[in-house]
């Protein structure tokens, strides 16, 4: 009986792997395996490989891709003391602006622009038109009252508050009634009740004057008559004078 021969095992082919021409049935290169002990003490085969280089992931900078905007930090609300200070500063700025605007209308570059209209009948300062309205009221008291004893003197005093043209009209009226006034011993006293501004500009002021007349005549009962006058005042070289009077 011939001695038994141990046949050399042939290497297996992996599906899809082409057989190399250098591989012969008798020569097979075996991969060297490294025994790595596991935690349980058993060994497992690992193929020793070279350590892989770390890969760096670069951001995508393809055209058309915009970077995401950075979020701004939220601003905290200012403390109450700071808010109060800001409010006071704004109020002061508004008051100063209003004062400058009024000054521009009264004395500055806008002084000639404002004109009296139905929407804006008064374009002067309160101090300015109030003084003119007071002068109109006093003039109305003067030319509305006369006495038969001092008739001429009172007419002269009344015309001193008027423009030349209106004084001439006033004298014509008083001259027409002078004889009857003296003959009936008429005394008229006018008392001022109130006054107000109607329109006002830097050249003309219209005032509304409320009067009460006390009338006495010889042989007649005394009478009390309330009435109103619209007195127009104009600025002249001699000051503010009465230019017209109408019953209101």
Tokens of 209: 């004057």
Q: Specify whether 88 is located in the same domain as 158.
A: no
Instruction: Please indicate, yes or no, whether residues 135 and 186 belong to a single structural domain of this protein.
Output: yes
Same domain, 162 and 212: yes
On whether residue 15 sits in a domain, the answer given is no
> Is the same domain home to 134 and 223?
yes
- Clarify whether residues 90 and 178 are in a common domain: no
Asked, for residue 210, whether it belongs to a domain, the answer is yes
- Residue 204: closest CA among 229, 232, 230, 231: 232
- Mean pLDDT is lowest, of 63-67, 112-116, 140-144, 155-159, for 63-67
Q: Is residue 22 a part of any domain in this protein?
A: no
pLDDT at residue 120, as a whole number: 85
Considering the domain architecture, whether residues 135 and 198 belong to the same structural domain is answered as: yes
Phi and psi dihedrals of 151, rounded to 5? Answer: -60, -55
Answer yes or no: do 225 and 152 share one domain. yes
> Are 98 and 188 part of one and the same domain?
no
The total number of structural domains that make up the chain: 2
Q: How far apart are CA 173 and CA 186, in angstroms?
A: 16
Q: Is residue 157 part of a domain?
A: yes
Q: Is residue 156 part of a domain?
A: yes
So what's the pLDDT on residue 200?
96
Give pLDDT, residue 147. 97
| Res 107 pLDDT > 80 | no
Average pLDDT, the chain: 77
Say how far apart CA 127 and CA 176 lie, in whole Å: 39
In tens, the pLDDT along 18-46 reads 444 444 444 444 444 444 444 444 444 44
Q: Write down how long the chain is.
A: 248
pLDDT per residue over 117-134, tens digit each?
A: 778 889 988 999 999 999
pLDDT tens digits along 44-98: 444 444 455 555 555 555 555 555 555 555 555 556 666 677 777 777 887 787 7
Tell me, what's the pLDDT at 16?
Answer: 46
The CATH number that applies at residue 194 is 3.10.450.230
> What tens digit of pLDDT does each residue of 161-192 get?
999 999 999 999 999 999 999 999 999 999 99
**What pLDDT was estimated at residue 157?**
97
Same domain, 164 and 238: yes
Same domain as 169, residue 94: no
Rounded Cα gap, residues 129 and 233, in angstroms = 10
Mean pLDDT for the stretch of residues 145-161? 97
Residue 109 reports pLDDT greater than 70: no
Q: Could you tell me which residue, 158 or 75, shows the higher pLDDT?
A: 158
Which SS3 state, helix, strand or coil, does residue 142 take?
Answer: helix
Contact 137, 192 (CB under 8 A): yes
Q: Which domain holds residue 96?
A: 79-113
pLDDT tens, 62-76? 555 555 555 555 555
Question: Which of 113, 135, 166 is the C-terminal boundary of a domain?
Answer: 113
94 shares a domain with 199: no
Instruction: Please indicate, yes or no, if residue 168 is contained in any of the structural domains.
Output: yes
- Note whether 106 and 185 are same-domain residues: no
């Amino acid at each position: 009986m011939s001695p038994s021969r141990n046949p050399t095992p042939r290497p297996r082919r992996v599906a899809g792997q082409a057989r190399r021409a250098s591989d012969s049935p008798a020569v097979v290169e075996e991969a060297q395996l490294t025994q790595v002990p596991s935690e349980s003490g058993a060994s497992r085969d690992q193929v020793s490989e070279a350590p892989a280089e770390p890969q760096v992931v670069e951001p995508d900078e393809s055209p058309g891709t915009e970077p995401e905007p950075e979020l701004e930090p939220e601003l905290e609300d200012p403390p109450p003391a700071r808010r109060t200070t800001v409010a006071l500063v704004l109020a002061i700025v508004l008051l100063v602006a209003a004062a400058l605007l009024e000054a521009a209308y009264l004395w500055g570059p806008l002084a000639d622009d404002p004109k009296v209209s139905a929407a804006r009948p008064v374009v002067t300062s309160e101090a300015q038109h109030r003084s003119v309205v007071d002068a109109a009221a006093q003039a109305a008291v003067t030319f509305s009252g006369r006495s038969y004893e001092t008739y001429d003197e009172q007419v002269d005093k009344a015309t001193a508050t008027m423009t030349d043209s209106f004084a001439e009209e006033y004298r014509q009226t008083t001259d027409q009634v002078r004889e009857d006034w003296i003959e009936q011993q008429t005394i008229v006293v006018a008392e001022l009740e109130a006054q107000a501004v109607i329109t006002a500009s830097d050249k003309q002021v219209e005032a509304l004057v409320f009067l009460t007349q006390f009338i006495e005549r010889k042989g007649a009962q005394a009478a009390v008559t309330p009435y109103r006058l619209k007195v127009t005042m104009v600025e002249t070289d001699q000051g503010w004078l009465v230019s017209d009077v109408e019953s209101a």
